[in-house]
Structure 1
Amino acid sequence: MHHAETETGLFGSLVLFGLLIPSIAVGVRRLHDTGRSGWWTLIWVIPLIGTIAWLVFTLQDSTPGANEYGPNLKEIPI
């Protein structure tokens, strides 16, 4: 019996689901920083091209000034 493999699979699944929603939230926030809708997160579903596009979107700098999703947090003095 491979009991250890079952526990690792269960633990891995719990970690995956525990990190899924925060990861989506961070991705949506990053897209909002670039002035895009959070729905663009779904572009990664398109094989290869979608993943590359999502990567390019998230690596771009934030839009200067405020946009429809709020102020640019990099411009707020600490």
Structure 2
Amino acid sequence: MNWYLKVLKQYADFSGRARRKEFWFFNLIHYSIFAFLIFLIFFVSDNFEKDPDTILFVITALYFIATLIPLLAVTVRRLHDMGQSGWWYLINFVPYIGSFVLLIFTCMDSVSKPNKWGDNPKGKNNFNAIDQIGKE
């Protein structure tokens, strides 16, 4: 849950890097909440045989709209972690293969060295942290 809250705290922060753990835990919780809200709509409307409660549609829509920017931001930061530009997110709009390529990108391991978007968030091979030893 902490990873989910961390991403929400960085609401529109498209700079920096995001670990795989941060990206996937946010997506897991985000889509679980979204699926639960859809289930509630389905359950309340008796398999859509009667009109579902409008308030549930509004809550689901508001949740989706409110978390759309953090979802984009964590994906861009995940791309930065692999040394790719955030503009690679647009490959998602290529029919059939775009979303698959983006999935492969988000599953790849991060660049172990610092890159132009910041230090390695894992801390492993974080050369800037090693350089700071003894300078405190």
In the superposition, the TM-score normalised over structure 1's length comes to 0.86
Distance in 2, matches of 1:3 and 1:73, equals 44
Aligned twin of 2:30: none
Shift of residue 47 of structure 1? 2.0
2:73 to 25, 42, 46: 25
Instruction: Tell whether 2:112 aligns with 1:61.
Output: no
Distance in 2, matches of 1:3 and 1:49, equals 35
Aligned-pair identity in percent equals 42
Instruction: Tell whether 2:42 aligns with 1:42.
Output: no
Count of residues paired in the alignment? 76
Shift of residue 3 of structure 1? 6.0
For structure 2, the 5+ residue unaligned runs are: 1-49, 130-136
Distance in 1, matches of 2:65 and 2:98, equals 22
Highest relative contact order (Cα 8 Å, sep 6+), 1 or 2? 2
Aligned twin of 2:9: none
Runs of 4+ in 1 over 4 A off after TM superposition: none
Structure number with greater Rg is 2
More helix, by proportion: 1
Distance in 2, matches of 1:43 and 1:23, equals 16
For structure 1, the 5+ residue unaligned runs are: none
Aligned residue for 1:35, secondary structure, equals: coil
